[in-house]
Structure 1
Amino acid sequence: MTAEVYSNDYFGRLEDRDFAQDKTIERTWLIEEIIKPELPNIIDNVERCLEMLQSDQVFKIPISNGGSEYGNSPSVKGLVARQANKLVDFQALVKFPEFHKGRPIIFKKHPESHFPLQQIEDITSNLEKVLNRLEELEVTNNSDSFISSIGEILQLLTKSINLLQNPPRNLSFPDSNNQAMKQLFKDHESLCESTHHEISLEIVLFKNELCVDFRNLSKVTKKPWCGIDPQTGKSFSDKVKDQLTQDRSKNISDILKQNGVHIEQPTFINSFMSNFNTQWTTLPQAQYFLNRCVTFNNNVVIEINKVALTTM
């Protein structure tokens, strides 16, 4: 039996060893003998990922929540088509009982509209940078530069994973402000809005799924809850929530009184009258608005129904 001893190993006295040099030698050996031989396989895998993300093939995906358009529950049926980093088709028959008296609405992508999938765009950009770094590593002889580039690659991969595990807030309800609806459909306002309601559309990638969410939103018209500050873009309920967070010694009644809202006892008469008097409210009514109100697309809304669809 034979064994090859590591050529730079040292069997002399401990005090005669140069630990800094040993560390450098071991690091160089690890890079040259362990990591670099695996780079071609890693590069192939990254290239394969990029090919799939940038493929010209059109993937058509049916979407449905299983509901009937003739029943009294929300229903969505349609088709989504993706090509590379964009949606090239989107068709859906959507019905919410409270929206247009339950009449099904057809949402069909305008031929000239474009809806880029921002997450795929960002991931593709990250992987292209990763690929360039990996190709540079194959010819890099400086250990410090090699380690620095590995760190950059790991950061890019972590960012890409986070894009799928934690979709950006600007793509999700309510921060999206219905951008998907605005970009996909011409005359979207006539499609998704009525006097008292608005339909929102959210399209995001989550892990390995394309998620499509439709919401039926009721527009809040009662003052002061419907008010939005034009300078901050925040609603009255946002303002109250912020003040409650900033000063935890005060309760809801204190904050409302500071903002000129009179609190009445929750009797039937007072609850009824508070619907007409903009400066009156009962505490349960205030709690309801604080819990349910959402600032969305320059309106204050309350979510009535939601249909969540996922595709692989």
Structure 2
Amino acid sequence: MRAGKCWKPAVVLPLCVAVLVGVATWARAGTIDARLEERLRSVSEGELISVSVMMGERLDYVYLRSIAAGLPRGEARELVRDEAVAVTSESQEGVRSLIEKAIVEGRASEPRYLHAVNAVRLLASPSLIGEIAGLPEVRTVIYNERAFALVGLESGPEMAQRPPTFRPQAARGDTAWGVLWIGADEVWQLGFRGHGALVAIIDTGIWYYHTDLSGNMWTNPGEIPNNFIDDDNNGYVDDYYGFNFDNHTSDPIDAMGHGTHVAGTVAGDGTRGAGAKRLMSGRRSSIR
């Protein structure tokens, strides 16, 4: 019995020391964001946390601009993208190796390798976060905390009653008052109607089946919808209409209404006869 009693502390003590040394290493390196460090204290190893890994190497935007100067827009975009992918892929190689191994072990999921800012977004376990933070090429690891633009929305907003005179109703077939208020009609008279433009709606999503919108919705030409394959190798599976970054799904359908309203203002075609002329003739993509 005495041997058993002595054995337990001998095992527990090294474990405690190992954990404390790990946390101290992160703090000393300064690579763990303060909010993430706080979050790590309250989660278990089996829980995955949404984080962004910011790499130390930054893209040389002056150089990228210089190599694209004078080229046609499409060619310039492709050249800059290829250069950015080459630089960041090399920079993220060590992180990617850790993540791929951790996915098999169930310690990571949904990695997104972001080339424009040289960062990686993923769901990671506490132990993996520690391993990533220990890499010399990593500048910092940030906790992706959900935030609300308007205070109180997280508990459910109450609908405010607007004064009747705040928003005069347009007669059916007339241009909506808001479109006129921002001077869009004056821009139209100059011949600018937005033909060929692609507008990203970053909002609550878009109800892309809406009759005023369905004819003008952008669709990803490199993606086959609903086949559960990342056909264009951009890191997003089935992103045919866009992507839902809130729920991490490929369906950006709008259940709140605001994003659809905004999309209708931008490019609704009036099929339903709502009487609100659109600002421009472009198509739109939904990014939630």
TM interval, short-chain normalised = under 0.3
User: More helix per residue: 1 or 2?
Assistant: 1
The TM-score with structure 1 as length reference comes to 0.21
Q: TM-score, normalised by structure 2?
A: 0.22
Please state which structure has a larger fraction of its residues in strand.
Answer: 1
